[in-house]
Structure 1
Amino acid sequence: MARPSKHSAEFRSDVIAYVDPETLRTWVRDADGRPATVGASQDTEAELARLRAENARLAKAEKEWQLEREMLRRAAVYFAREMK
């Protein structure tokens, strides 16, 4: 159940008259008679979970690549000294 608003209907209508529709979109939707979205749909939640898992996988891979690059840099420095 939604919590009751602390703003009166008159106050809301006055604000809606002066506001860009994106600023207070919930109030504007209510005034237009469109329902405001309460939560994300299951598809959105599943996509968010998939993206978070992919982000974690990529962050781990990035750390591994940084380690590999550092090892190659050190090896290049080592062999460059031996060539002198």
Structure 2
Amino acid sequence: MPKPYPKEFCDDVVAVARKGEALLKQIAKDFGISEGCLSNWMKKADIEDGARPGPTIAESAELRGAKKR
């Protein structure tokens, strides 16, 4: 199972990546995460911000709750 990172850490890394001042590969290396992990965080952030289609975290949680019933 992947190592959980605090939400604040993820948000900070995504903010740095969105500035576009460095390659994603270098940003991931600087923060000690994989490039794939950073890419996934960026995709999730885009969905949360409405820039990319897909279910938000709240919608996903709601669906999981409905499936358990």
TM-score, with normalisation over the residues of structure 1?
0.30
Q: Which protein is bigger by CA-based radius of gyration?
A: 1
Q: Which has the higher contact order (CA 8 A, sep 6+)?
A: 2
TM-score, with normalisation over the residues of structure 2?
0.35
